[in-house]
Chain A
C-alpha cells in the first residue's frame, strides 16, 4: 500500500477521534489481520494482536448472525468495565476497529464510524 494512502487513512482515523471525543484509538485492518493504519493509545502493547482480535470478533459476529438468520452484521460491540471496543466491516476485505471510553456516547461513536467507513472505502476501493 502506498505511503500516501496510509497517511490519508491515519487522517480519517484522527478525524473520527476528533469528532467523537470518547474514541481513544482506532485502526484499519485487512480481513487477514494486517494492520493498515492505526492511531492507537501508547499503552496498547501489541497493535498486531489488536488487529487479529478485531478480525476474530468480526468473524464470530458474522458467523453468529448467519447461523441465527439475523441478517447482515452491522457491528460488533465488546463492553468492558474500563472501555469498549467496536468493530465494523469496510467492504469485504477490511475492517475498522475503535476503542472507546466505558461511558462513551455509543450512538455518536457508531455514527462517526459509519462516516469514516465510507471515507475509507473511497480510499481503498
Chain B
C-alpha cells in the first residue's frame, strides 16, 4: 500500500472508530449491535446468491454452504490458515482465529462486529437451507482464542 493510501486508511479507520464510539454513547450498545446485525443479514443474503451462482449450486447442503462461507467469504478476508470448519449432517462449526476488526485496532469488546459476522453466517445459511440456528459458541471479543459459530438445521 502506498504511503498516501495508508494515511487515508488510517484516517478512515479513526473516523469509523469515533463514529462507533459516539453512536454507542448516544444510542446505546444494543442499537449499534442491531444495526451491525442487520447489515450482516443483508450481506449474508447477497453472499448466498453470489455463491449459488458462482458454484452453480442447485440444492444446498449444510456442509456445502459452510465450506463456501469459510473458503470463499471468510478466508479471503482473514487468510486461509485462519479459518476452518468441521462437522456433518445437521450441525457444523466454522472457526476463525483472527478478527479483522481487532487487527485494525478496533475495540472488539463491544461485540459490534461479532453481530455483523453472526448476521452474515445466519442469513446466508437461512437463505440456503431454510430454518437454521446459529450460535456464537466462542468469541475473541470475550477473550477466547478463536471465534466459533455453530450452525444447526432446525
Secondary structure of the B contact surface, majority rule? helix
Is there a chain B Cβ closer than 8 Å to A60's Cβ? yes
CB distance from B153 to the nearest CB of A (A): 13
Q: What's the dominant secondary structure at chain A's contact region?
A: helix
Nearest A-chain residue to B115, judged by Cβ: A32
B34 touching A52, Cβ below 8 Å: yes
Say yes or no for A63: interface residue by CB 8 A criterion: yes
| Contact among A1, A48, A49, A55 for B30, CB-based, below 8 A | A55
Is the beta-carbon distance between B28 and A62 smaller than 8 angstroms? yes
Chain B interface size range = 10 to 19
| A60 with B34: CB separation less than 8 A | no
Q: State in angstroms the CA–CA spacing of A1 and B118 once bound together.
A: 16
Question: What range describes how many residues of A lie at the interface?
Answer: 10 to 19
Say yes or no for A16: interface residue by CB 8 A criterion.
Answer: no
Q: Which residues of A contact B (CB under 8 A)?
A: 1, 3, 31-34, 48-49, 51-52, 55-56, 58-60, 62-63
Q: Which residues does B use to contact A, with CB under 8 Å?
A: 25-31, 33-35, 37-38, 41, 115, 118, 133, 154
